[in-house]
Structure 1
Amino acid sequence: MFFHTMKYTLLNLLRDKGQVFWCVAFPLLLGTMFHFAFGGLGSGESFSAIPVAVVMQEESSELRSMFDSLSKPGEDQFLEVTYASAADARELLKAKEVYGIITADLPTVSDYRNAASIEDVSTYPLSLALSAEMTSDPLYQSILSVLVDRFNIEYSAIAQAAMKDPAKLPALLHTVSEEVSYIRHESLGAGSVDESLTYFFNLIAMTCLYAAMIGNTLAISNQANLSDLGARRNVSPVPRLLATLGDLTGALIFEFSSLLITIVYLTLVLKVDFGNHLGGVTLTCLCGCLAGLSLGFLVGCIGQFSKETKFGFLMAAIMICCFLSGLMIGNMRALVEDFCPLLNRINPAALISDALYSLVVYPSYTRFFTNIAGLLLLSALFCLGGLALVRRKKYASL
């Protein structure tokens, strides 16, 4: 009888166009919208050459060679240099065609020979002029400022060493030309993470929680005072617990299969990268569906409210859970973690999205299994509560 009930529950769900739409079609449509709306969030902005005007006070082949090298066309082009007079450079800056003006005044060899001390020679040959009106992209202006400051500092050190202690000049030139990196790059996980992934994680969480609608329907269909089907079931000789478990199992198979269709579509069609842990993603989906189904079953067993009232309450609860987990605002789950971490521990949507996130980001499975354990605990509490309420109900007449 268990398998008989499970079979016909599954068939009824497959024939229900409303359930098929909300559990299969709607996640696919929403996922497609997310792909076009947020698909480029994590791709990063490509760096383009910085337009800059260069004013050469005195012709210097060394400085011109440096600027030509920085503005050489190609993937590594850093600057887009325009050589101009001081007046023309100011016009370019005023017209916002360049981000700044670099004025070059490099001392000649004779200047150093005639100088009595290093103070008599300018050791900062580059100066930068910026426009206060160009506030749309301060990043490029900051990069130009760093470039000029670094050149002046290194040039000053070399000039002082050449005049005071020429013997140290080769070692200094080697030190200046050597790039030292103090950052070591290490991968935290096997997959890549970008901001758009959080929306797809929460889309899966929302789809899992939509199983609550099915659980609510099943609970109502087992209550004689709320549905005609419930009245017939309560007078049948089939044990109530066995029939209820068959219903829940059939619903779980339907919802889990629907979610697998969504995962396949997101992975193969929309090219969403969930990492190399398909087993973990599948387990998360199964536990998420169980949590959503048991939540709806519990709500459906509470009180004598109408089916529409319970549906409205469930939909509001699902949307609140998804909002707090980041479906509408990507970093909402992190904000909740800062101010009220307990909400993330009892919010099934947050547990589902965080489980998927931990699979992609963290090399260990500690956080992942912590979230899975939280989902299973919530599912057990919801199921036991719903079954207890169903078994305690008795009817004076049917």
Structure 2
Amino acid sequence: MVFRLYFTRIKCLFRDKQNVFWSALFPIFLSFVFSLAFSNLDSEGEFTTIDIAIVEANEQSYILDAAMGAKFSEDVTMFQIQQVNEAEARALLKKGEIVGYIVDGEKPALYIGGSSIEATILKSFVDNYLQTMKKVMLVESTNPEKVQDVINASMKSVDYINDENVAEKSPKGTLIYFYALLALACLYGSNFGIAEISDIQADKSAKGARINVAPVHKLKLLICNIFAAITVQVLCVLVAITFMIYVLSIDFGMRVGLLALTCVLGSICGVTFGAMLRAVIKKNEKTVSAISNATVLLLSFFAGLMNPNIKFIIAENIPFAMKINPASLISDSFYCLYYFDSLEKYWTNILCMLLVTVAFIVITYFVTRRRQYASI
């Protein structure tokens, strides 16, 4: 009897196209939009080799040696250099094949074709070279034996910040959007929770009135329906995650089991949140659904869905709000799984999420328990 009620309710919920859209299709569509908008965001800070030309350089050209030795990193050289005459350099610059060219001489001259970041880097390199040459000339006139020390010091760059990636994961600013989107998908299970309370309460819908006069224990039916709603919600979220991983190639890390556990608990939190809203708000189902969707979007906004800076501002100024915001707890749990070797913070977020879920269940229970009707 129980399993028949459970599976029958699952069939009914899958036929609810509006709720399935919000829980699965909307996150899929939004993740696709995010992937198009943020496709180059993670690599925008990476520098690539700049094409330049040097004119009238000879084998003793100091600026040629300096340009050939300049590097962004151990593996990436700063400049790809062509040695041409001035007419050829002008032609290459006009065609856009080089960013700029340097005319070597006693005081090298720089010609660039625009105001791009590459042109700014090239200008900074030439300015630094000219300043170094002035220092060398000044030291040469006063203390010639120190000239080589000045040249060596100018060629050496010192990093005062040691960047260590403890979790061996490169930070990706776009991940916070996708984590907040998954939290949004989990919390959209509130629509299923609203439907379950509407269908079990006689004063909420005609279907609820028929159920209350049926020879079925109402608590047993409610439990079956809630579990069915959670099942459908989890499946919708898993479909969204599968699309992000295998179609959009979003890397969510290797802890797949804990990722699935977070989705299940997040979906339970979403369903119970909707049930609480429907029990507390004495309006029709469409009004409650609109309030629920607006609230979920607001919570996801605070979790960084629209702007990740909002998440950090709230965490810094109102840290308690992050502990009671289900969207923040779900997205932070995903974030901990991806970046941190230790799971201490992850389990703390899970515990907070469970406490929030229990609060939703308790409120729903006390509002709906022993409700009597004068007439049905």
TM-score by length of 1: 0.78
Hey, what does 1:110 align to over in structure 2?
none
| Alpha carbons 2:63, 2:129 under 8 Å: kept | no
Aligned pair count? 372
- Where in structure 2 are the equivalents of 1:107-256 lying within 5 Å? 136-137=115-116, 140-141=119-120, 144-145=123-124, 148-149=127-128, 152-153=131-132, 156=135, 160=139, 164=143, 166=145, 182-256=160-234
The structure-2 alpha-carbon separation of the partners of 1:100 and 1:342, relative to structure 1 and needing over 3 Å to count, comes to farther
Distance 1:275 1:64 in 2: 46
Q: Note if 1:370 corresponds to 2:369.
A: no
Distance 2:100 2:318 in 1: 45
Q: Note if 1:43 corresponds to 2:21.
A: no
1:182-205 deviation line (CA, Å, top 9, x unaligned): 554422325443222122112111
The structure-2 alpha-carbon separation of the partners of 1:158 and 1:373, relative to structure 1 and needing over 3 Å to count, comes to farther
SS class of match (1:331): helix
How far does residue 181 in structure 1 lie from its aligned partner after superposition?
A: 5.2
How far does residue 216 in structure 1 lie from its aligned partner after superposition?
A: 0.3
Amino acid at match of 2:204: L
| Alpha carbons 1:294, 1:379 under 8 Å: kept | yes
Hey, what does 1:323 align to over in structure 2?
301
The structure-2 alpha-carbon separation of the partners of 1:156 and 1:342, relative to structure 1 and needing over 3 Å to count, comes to same
The structure-2 alpha-carbon separation of the partners of 1:35 and 1:55, relative to structure 1 and needing over 3 Å to count, comes to closer
The structure-2 alpha-carbon separation of the partners of 1:145 and 1:130, relative to structure 1 and needing over 3 Å to count, comes to farther
Distance 2:92 2:168 in 1: 48
Answer with 147-156 or 278-287: which moved more.
Answer: 147-156
Distance 2:290 2:203 in 1: 20
| Alpha carbons 2:234, 2:267 under 8 Å: kept | yes
Hey, what does 2:289 align to over in structure 1?
311
Q: Note if 1:345 corresponds to 2:332.
A: no
| Alpha carbons 1:158, 1:173 under 8 Å: kept | no
| Alpha carbons 2:102, 2:110 under 8 Å: kept | yes
- Superposition RMSD on alpha carbons, in Å? 3.9
1:26-76 deviation line (CA, Å, top 9, x unaligned): 3222222222222221133553444667677x967242651673599x963
| Alpha carbons 1:218, 1:297 under 8 Å: kept | yes
Listed as ranges, the gaps of 5+ residues in structure 2 are none
| Alpha carbons 2:198, 2:208 under 8 Å: kept | yes
Hey, what does 1:32 align to over in structure 2?
32
Hey, what does 1:392 align to over in structure 2?
370
TM-score by length of 2: 0.82
| Alpha carbons 1:53, 1:100 under 8 Å: kept | yes
Amino acid at match of 1:199: Y
Distance 1:34 1:182 in 2: 36
Listed as ranges, the gaps of 5+ residues in structure 1 are 106-125
Hey, what does 2:10 align to over in structure 1?
10
Distance 2:164 2:88 in 1: 48
How far does residue 4 in structure 1 lie from its aligned partner after superposition?
A: 3.8
1:252-288 deviation line (CA, Å, top 9, x unaligned): 1111122112212211221100112212211211111
Could you say which structure has the larger radius of gyration? 1
Amino acid at match of 2:43: S
The structure-2 alpha-carbon separation of the partners of 1:162 and 1:368, relative to structure 1 and needing over 3 Å to count, comes to farther
The structure-2 alpha-carbon separation of the partners of 1:129 and 1:78, relative to structure 1 and needing over 3 Å to count, comes to closer
Distance 1:65 1:139 in 2: 18
Hey, what does 2:79 align to over in structure 1?
78
| Alpha carbons 1:359, 1:365 under 8 Å: kept | yes
Percent same amino acid at aligned positions?
A: 28
1:132-182 deviation line (CA, Å, top 9, x unaligned): x96x4367435643564367548946984898475x888888777777655
| Alpha carbons 1:214, 1:251 under 8 Å: kept | yes
Amino acid at match of 1:275: G
